[in-house]
Structure 1
Amino acid sequence: MKRFAALYDELDATTATNAKVAALRRYLAEADDADAAWAVYFLSGGKPRQLIRTAQLRAQAIASSGLPEWLFDASYQAVGDLAETIALVLPLPQDSTGMQTRLSIWMEERLLPLRGQSDEAIAQSLGAWWRELDATGRFLLVKLVGGGFRVGVSKLLVQRALAAHAGLDAKLVAARMMGFTDGKRSPTAAAYRALVAPADALVAGQDSRDPSQPYPFFLASPLGADAVDEVAALGPARNWLAEWKFDGIRGQIVKRAGQVWVWSRGEELMSDRFPELQALAQRWPDGTVLDGEILVWDDGTGAARLPGSERPGGPAPFALLQQRIGRKTLGPKVLAAAPVSFMAYDLLEVGHEDQRQAPQHERRARLEALAASLNQTPGPRLWLSPQLAGDDWPMLAGRRAEARTLGVEGLMLKHRDSAYGTGRQKRGGVDAPLAWWKWKIDPLSIDGVLIYAQAGHGRRASVYTDYTFAVWNRPPADAAEADAVVEAIAQRRPADPDGLQLVAFTKAYSGLTDEEFKAVDAVIRQNTLEKFGPVRSVRPTLVFELAFEGIARSTRHKSGVALRFPRMQRIRHDKPLHEANTLQDLEQLLVGDTR
């Protein structure tokens, strides 16, 4: 733990990329393989399932520190991070035994066995371990058992350090790391050795990879241009393949060794959640890997057929897919209510041969040939993402304008000669053509009134940055009627059930600059009405323009709707409270948004 704690301190103390890579290389050169495996796992974003509940950590910290509950909570609010708070309030350690224990021993022999133990046993273990760790060790311990470990290091940076340490190409390391951080697996010394093995370690014809391993996903770069002449900077439209951009879960389906695995873009193994996709891929030739979108598809007669598609109907709203993936048990009723399908749009492997360096148009032709062959026989059909004809950019811009009514997010633009890259690349390789772009439709927006605020975490712990917004239940007659509601709120009078009200409808915590957050924080402190723990109710004063990607009905919210990816677009200093939007405005967006 001592060596890993020192690495954490080094990484946390600098923003220089080269310094972080150097620190990682020093650690990898000194650590044994088992410790290196766990370090790479955590630094790359791996998160084992939470081992100890936050409430348990808090209760044991209060008991071990001897602080009254109110003082611990006040400290937590001031610090903004539970692990840091615990590390600061605990008494000095009695010895350094825990710091001398290796990271892999901590994880495999101490922490992972906690799962399933009684609260009493967990409390006893925590108290003992805290007595043998210094402040950094305690901080890391809480992060590791609470599932909240993170430091200023990206997976790409870890791959770069591994490549430099092992003398390998970073792209090869990225490919080997696919699936390494899946929460259902634990890193091992053997898995780490496979990451850093020499490039020629694989003997011809003997692939020692885990057969379930997917490829690194190729990510599209956002295209924010609205005007056709800006999009035209990409060159002639005929050099690009255009497809609809679906609002589902990006995934790869891997068929090798007679088995099927389904991976999300976040490298989460999701095979057990989608039995339909396993049944689909069982018909594929062995050694086939496809990239595409996992969707719930509406085959009903009322669904509009996507232009360019042979498939009846269209994609169902993402909220339906979200309900499906949130279920632990997949009974017949759930499977029938949200039938999942796969919309394939790239062929990465066929006959155990990697296809990623072939030009985009060739990979598409091979994918179409595979689908045609499979679909000739009875069984689940392999559907392909429809391609859109567009000889010029104005024609494709017209297609993009139809996206919202068709339940899709816009267009994907893929250069016909690009290879399938790794990560987000604006080119398919050295001197290669521009690769993939996503040309999304503009987000939806609504003007809401700030009514509650909560302090952030980490560096924002002392600033109110997490806000709750409301809209009017109907249009106010005038400014005076709206002011009367605000005055009633200030006087803590209950809302008139038959009169004008502000109805909470969403929360947001991103989109403003640090300076804007500070300015809003000052307004919140000046207009606080009540405090409920970390939350403050605020006299309605400010109107914000909120942007979001989609809207769906929700029985869990008083407003009856839920927004997808809400964020603050700007503060509407120019808009008085009575001109904020209403529930009726949200209803109109709900009708117009088919996702």
Structure 2
Amino acid sequence: MKRFSQLFQQVDATTSTNEKVRALRQYFYDEIPENAVWAIYLFLGKTRKRLITSRVLRDVFLQISDIPEWLFEDCYAHVGDSAETIALLLRHSPLESQEKVDRPLHEWMEKVIPQVKTVQSEGELRDLVVSWWASLEDTEIFVLNKVLTGAFRVGVSEKLLVKALSAEYNLPESVLAHRLMGDFEPSINFYRQLIQTDNEELAPSQPYPFFLASPLDEDRFQEEEPARWQAEWKWDGIRAQIIKRADEVFIWSRGEDLITQQFPELVEGFQLLPNGHVVDGEILCWEGDRPMNFNALQKRLGRKSVTKKLLAENPVHFIAYDLLEHNSQDIREKPLLERRNLLAELLTSLSTSLTTVSTSLSFSSFADLQELRERSRQQGAEGLVIKAKDSPYRVGRKRGYWWKYKVNPMSLDAVLIYAQAGTGKRANLFTDYTFALWHNGELVSFAKAYSGLDNDEINELDKWIRRHTIEKFGPVRSVEPIQVFEIGFEGITESKRHKSGISVRFPRILRWRKDKPVEEIDTLQTAFELLKTIEQSN
């Protein structure tokens, strides 16, 4: 645990990619496989299961500490993270002296931490957690707390991890990225398979790394020859791979969640495919010839089983984009047009209306492309994806092959009414904002946004919030309703869960409207009129 915590400190303390890779590579060089594989598992965010809530850890700390609850809450408001707050306070209020024990990381993950599942009472849980804290240094306590709460995150992307492993073991990054896809058992055997140079047969459920489009550079793209490119509608669903191997169907989301159980009708349809095929595409809830709102799809997610009622009310459709594996052969290096021809031929064997190949849209000029984009909302899409016809299927975002060309976001002018401190490096700044619209002479909250301001604007607004706070509700501050912002979003729907009666998708700040008084912000009626317009255009 000590060595892993040191690595955590090294990668967390720098913004340099090279320094992070160097630290990771040295760790894999020094560490035994039993620990190295767990480090990979943690860095990839595979341990998302919460064993203990942050609230329970906080209560345990307050039971053994002389620090009053109000002071803990004040510290938390500055730090922005319970796990880190406890670790920092324990540094200055150490527990009863106990010999520090440096157990190996794999022992913590496989034997020590699982003891949480066996405790019979709150007292036993408290004693167990306190004994762990007493045996660790402060950084190790922080790491342990994050693992226990299922919130271990660090500034190491999968790309950096793959780069370090590639450099250390002289393996192609694309091979390692593929081997790390999906879930895996963090065992010595897996680690050896991961770093071996010989080809090894993949597990039947193993997906491929997804290829992602980059935002279009309009000036650069206007110099391209249109005949080399094709466009497709960019749908607002779940990117997924459907795999047919070993007489089984597996469905993986782009977030590496196995979502097979949520879509039994797709499983049934793809059972007709021959073994050895992997199709990349988008899952949407679909009605007639159009996609339903994303909220309908959300009702299917996160469920262990899907009822007949849910299947009927939220029917799904799979739009196939690409073919990655054909007759058990990886064909990602073949040109896009060749892969799509094989895909179209393959899907003719499926006697199901739940799957179609994405429509290929041609254009002869950049003006034609812009016109296509403007028609996106009429199709129920959020823009275009533009792909080079000769492009291979790469890993992650590789500029120059695929571009996304989204429609301009919808927007409303709203006023800031609440603010809350951020987390991590922004824990000392107010960066989480709630915005409101007018309704019958009152301000009604309609959206929260966390992004869109630059650092100078964040610092300026933070100072203003501190000077113009009206009330405090724990970490939340109510502020004078003066500052107006243009809020952009990708979609808008009716919602019974929100006081405003609407829900917006992916809200973000487009600009700070210092030129506009609060009396002139938009109304809730304007938002519903926008919703009605969108529904009519669909």
Report TM bin, short chain: over 0.9
Among candidates 356, 378, 382, match of residue 405 of structure 1: 378
Please report how far the alpha carbon of residue 593 of structure 1 lies from its aligned counterpart in structure 2 after TM superposition: 2.7
Aligned to 1:388, the other structure's residue is in SS state coil
* 1:310-346 Cα distance to aligned partner (Å, 9 max, x none): xxx1111111111221445411111111112211010
The 8 Å contact of residues 335 and 390 in structure 2, kept in 1 or not, is answered as yes
Q: What secondary structure sits across from 2:142 in the alignment?
A: helix
Report the alpha carbon displacement of residue 366 of structure 1 after superposing the two structures with TM: 0.8
Q: Partner of 1:478 in structure 2? A: none
CA contact (8 A) 1:405 1:592 kept: no
Pair 1:416-2:389 in alignment: yes
Q: 1:513 is aligned with what amino acid?
A: D
Distance 1:562 1:525, change over 3 A: same
Contact kept? 1:220, 1:437, Cα under 8 Å: yes
The counterpart of 1:451, out of the listed 404, 417, 420, is 417
Q: What per-residue deviation string (whole Å, max 9, x for no partner) do you get for residues 386-418 of structure 1?
A: 112323332232221111122101111110111
Tell me if the contact between 2:48 and 2:151 (Cα under 8 Å) persists in the aligned partners.
Answer: no
* Corresponding residue for residue 560 of structure 1: 501
CA distance in 1, matches of 2:515, 2:118: 56
Whether 1:505 and 2:446 are equivalent positions in the alignment is yes
Report what 1:195 is aligned to.
194
Which stretch has the larger CA shift, 543-552 or 394-403?
A: 394-403
Q: Which residue of 2 aligns with 1:128?
A: 131
Equivalence for 2:27: 27
User: How far apart, CA to CA, are the structure 1 residues paired with 2:309 and 2:529?
Assistant: 31
Task: Give unmatched runs, 5+ long, in structure 1.
Answer: 300-312, 427-433, 474-498
Partner SS, residue 147 of structure 1: coil
Among 388, 395, 402, the alignment partner of 2:368 is 395
Cα shift at 1:151: 1.9
- In structure 2, the CA distance between the partners of 1:328 and 1:446, relative to structure 1 (3 Å rule), is farther
Question: Residue 230 of structure 1: CA displacement?
Answer: 5.7
Kindly indicate whether the alpha-carbon contact (under 8 Å) linking 2:410 and 2:491 is maintained by their aligned counterparts in 1.
Answer: yes
Which runs of structure 2 are paired with 1:541-560 in the superposition (5 Å)? Answer: 541-560=482-501
What stretches of structure 2 of length at least 5 have no aligned partner?
Answer: none
Deviation (angstroms), 1:9: 1.6
1:449–1:469: 8 Å Cα contact kept in structure 2?
A: yes
Q: Would you say the 8 A contact 2:318–2:354 is kept in 1?
A: no
Deviations 1:477-526 (A, max 9, x none): xxxxxxxxxxxxxxxxxxxxxx5111111111211112111211222222
Which residue identity lines up with residue 62 of structure 1 in the other structure? L
Question: Which of 77, 102, 105 lines up with 1:103 in the alignment?
Answer: 105
User: Which ranges of 4 or more aligned residues in structure 1 deviate by more than 6 Å?
Assistant: none
Q: Output one character per residue of 1:352-403: Cα deviation in whole Å (capped at 9) or x when no partner.
A: 011111111111111111122x14xx44553111112323332232221111
- 1:112-127 matches, within 5 Å, as 112-115=114-117, 117-118=119-120, 119-127=122-130
2:249 to 260, 270, 279: 260
Residue 577 of structure 1 aligns with an amino acid whose one-letter code is V
Match of 1:367 in 2: 343
Identical columns (%): 46
Mapped partners of 2:504, 2:304: distance in 1: 24
How many residues in Structure 1 have an aligned counterpart in Structure 2?
532
Superposed displacement of residue 177, structure 1: 0.9
Aligned with 2:438 (options 457, 472, 475): 472
Out of 339, 358, 363, the position equivalent to 2:334 is 358
2:203 maps to which residue?
Answer: 210
Distance 1:418 1:508 in 2: 36
**Equivalent residue number for residue 425 of structure 1:** 398
2:336 aligned with 1:346: no
CA shift at 1:466, angstroms?
Answer: 1.1
> Which one is further off, 584-593 or 50-59?
584-593
Q: Is the 8 A contact 1:130 1:138 kept in 2?
A: yes
Contact kept? 1:296, 1:338, Cα under 8 Å? yes
Whole-Å separation in 2 of the counterparts to 1:48 and 1:500:
44
The answer to whether 1:593 aligns with 2:527 is no
Q: Which residue of 2 aligns with 1:162?
A: 165
1:442 equivalent among 387, 400, 408: 408
Cα 1:96–1:344 change in 2 (3 A) is farther
Equivalent position SS for 1:251: strand
Distance 1:557 1:115 in 2: 36
| Paired letter, 2:470 | L
Distance in 1 of aligned mates of 2:264 and 2:488: 35
8 Å contact 2:387–2:402 — kept in the other structure?
yes
The answer for the alignment partner of 1:153 in structure 2 is 156
Aligned partner of 2:296: which letter?
L
Distance 1:589 1:88, change over 3 A: same
Cα distance in 1 for residues equivalent to 2:261 and 2:124: 32
**Which runs of structure 2 are paired with 1:369-388 in the superposition (5 Å)?**
369-372=345-348, 374-375=349-350, 378-379=351-352, 381-388=354-361
Query: 213, 218, 223: which one pairs with 1:220?
Result: 213
* Contact 1:96–1:134 (8 Å) recurs in 2: no
Secondary structure (helix, strand or coil) at the match of 2:27 reads helix
- Partner Cα separation in structure 1 for residue 23 and residue 471 of structure 2: 47
> 477, 493, 517: which is aligned to 2:458?
517
The alignment partner of 1:453 has SS state of: strand
CA distance in 1, matches of 2:467, 2:445: 21
Give the counterpart letter for 2:314 in structure 1.
A
Q: In 1, distance between residues paired with 2:48 and 2:498?
A: 31
Could you tell me whether the CA contact under 8 Å between 1:65 and 1:89 is conserved in 2?
no
Contact 1:279/1:380 (8 A) holds in 2: no
**Which stretch has the larger CA shift, 281-290 or 6-15?**
6-15
2: distance between equivalents of 1:298 and 1:510? Answer: 33
Structure 1 counterpart SS, 2:299? helix
In 2, distance between residues paired with 1:536 and 1:542? Answer: 14
Matched with 1:73 is 73
Contact 1:448 1:471 (8 Å CA) reproduced: yes
Please, what is the CA RMSD of the aligned residues? 1.7
Query: Residue 92 of structure 1: CA displacement?
Result: 2.6
Asked whether the 8 Å contact 1:92–1:134 carries over to 2, the reply is no
Task: Give secondary structure in 1 for the equivalent of 2:504.
Answer: strand
